Structure 1
Amino acid sequence: MRNRIWFVFLWISGVYQVIAQNTIEKVVDSLYKEDQFYLAVTYNLFGNRPVDLSQNGFSNGLHLGFMKDMPLNKRRNVALSIGLGYSTNSFYHNLYISQDENQVTTYDIILQSDTYTKNKFSNHIVEMPIEFRWRTSTPEEYKFWRIYTGFKLGYIFGNRVKYRGDLGDIQYNNIKVFEKFQYGLNLSFGYNTWNAYLYYALSPIFSKENQINGESIDMNNIKIGLIFYIL
């Protein structure tokens, strides 16, 4: 009798394992989508800097958002995506920005670094990235190579300029000197968790009417960092 009970138990266990295995296989999502959330940290650089203008300190950026992944082929390793995100960026530099009571802005390059302890501007941007995606993923594989490239649109909805030094403590909020509409090219590539991220702005940081010594400030933003994707 005991042997029969063990036999029935083993038979039921075997049937259960087969059913469980079939269930697992059935729930594999053949219509999967990848990398729909992202988080990036970057080091922010100036491109096309005026003579004598330099960066100091650690200029950084934080970027996060949601991407709508839309596979283009049956294997689903080629896709198009469009998203919505938020970005905050800070830039430490030696460009002194000041405004008078009529909100007229002037710019001067500080050549002596020991005359101030802080000089930066920061911004907050709502972004819309558009990407073409290639990857080696499958419905069962969560570690894969990826190359994503595309275009990013942005709108600066807030900014701050802050100076602390021999001239006192000065701060301006939401001054109208920055180019509100930002756009540029972006590229990310890597394997699994660790992915390099590059962004090159095609738009200037400052509006065209802003000048130093009669010349437009045509600086743009270059971002280098890491990006992390979440399903």
Structure 2
Amino acid sequence: MKFLKLLPIFLLLSFQGLAQPNGKDSSLVSRHRPGIFWFYTGFRPAKPGKLRKYDRLILDVTYNQLLSTGGGVKANPWRSFGCNVNTMWDVPLNNGNTFSLGIGFAYKYQKTGPKGLFFADSTNSFTHYFPDSSYSDYRKNTFGNHIIALPVELRFRTRKWEHFKVHLGGSIGYRLQTFQKLWPEKKHAEKYRDLPDQNRLVYGVHMRIGIRNWALFADYTLAPQFKSSKSDKISALAFGVSLSVF
């Protein structure tokens, strides 16, 4: 993915914000926009006393896992990475902006490499997961989702630019597409989007905990992957690293 190729550049540039320009007081560093648009306030430094806004563009790199009622779904870890892009409004709820509300829009790319396949039943009305079934016929396979969502979160942080932060939130969204991609032996990839009972409604909870523009991230999708009562109960768990670039 192009995003993953560009990630090292984002990570390298973000470290620029660790320095204090010209030895100035650390409480004023945010006026000089260190890192990748961190604390960006326009073409001029922020006015003294103006509340800083935080975490308005957040990139998550995630490791994804499918969970079922019988436990986790075995997967190839190297094919189970995804990403999220979050654009957020930071709404201060107190004078120091140590407590705020985050509201925004997110795109989620969830991908796993299960060691098994999803099949529709003979009536094409519900979906079953068969571990390792017919897997020998394929070199590899992936399963994933494209999702858009509206996240809302409560944000707690300490004062000054090198703050410690905790975000607790949830989201509700729409599953644009569920896909299963297979690579048969000596053939090109085949992509399937026709599983019969895809659950379009997506909702879940998430958390970030970190320092300044870095955080650890976890997201649990409460909504089942398939909506039929006869389908296997599959949900998604994601955890990884977040980088706030704006």
* TM-score normalised over the length of structure 1: 0.75
- Aligned equivalents of 1:194 and 1:26: distance in 2? 22
Percent identical: 24
Q: Choose which of 94, 100, 123 in structure 2 pairs with 1:73.
A: 94
Task: Specify whether residues 208 and 170 from structure 1 end up closer, same or farther in structure 2 by C-alpha distance, changes over 3 A only.
Answer: same
Deviation readout 1:149-183 (Å, 9 max, x if unpaired): 111112111222122346x8643125443221111
Q: Which residue of 2 aligns with 1:118?
A: 140
Q: Distance in 2 between matches of 1:183 and 1:33?
A: 27
Structure 1 position 163 matched with structure 2 position 163: no
| Residue pairs, 1:1-231, within 5 angstroms | 27-50=47-70, 53-58=73-78, 59-98=80-119, 103=124, 107=128, 108-110=130-132, 114-138=136-160, 141=161, 143-165=162-184, 170-173=190-193, 175-211=195-231, 217-231=232-246
Q: How far did 1:27 drift? A: 2.0
Letter in 1 for 2:223: S
Residues 120 and 36 of structure 1, relative CA distance in 2, 3 Å threshold: same
8 Å CA contact 1:177–1:210 kept in 2: the answer is: no
The structure with more strand, counted as a fraction of residues: 1
Q: Which runs of 5+ in 2 are unaligned?
A: 1-43
- The count of residues paired between Structure 1 and Structure 2 equals 200
- Check whether the contact 1:200–1:223 (CA below 8 A) recurs between aligned residues: yes
Q: Cα RMSD over matched residues?
A: 2.9
| 1:99 Cα deviation from its structure 2 partner | 5.0
Secondary structure in 2 matching 1:39: strand
C-alpha distance after superposition, 1:131-162 (max 9, x if no partner): 00011133xx2x21110011111211122212
Question: Contact 2:220 / 2:237 at 8 angstroms: preserved in 1?
Answer: yes
Q: What is the Cα deviation at residue 96 of structure 1?
A: 1.8
- Deviation for aligned residue 1:197: 0.1
The change in CA–CA distance for 1:110 and 1:76 in structure 2 (over 3 A counts) is same
Q: Supply the AA of the counterpart residue of 1:191.
A: I
After superposing on structure 2, the runs of 4+ consecutive aligned residues of structure 1 that deviate more than 6 Å are none
Structure exhibiting the larger radius of gyration computed from Cα positions: 1
Pair 1:63–1:51, CA change in 2 (3 A): closer
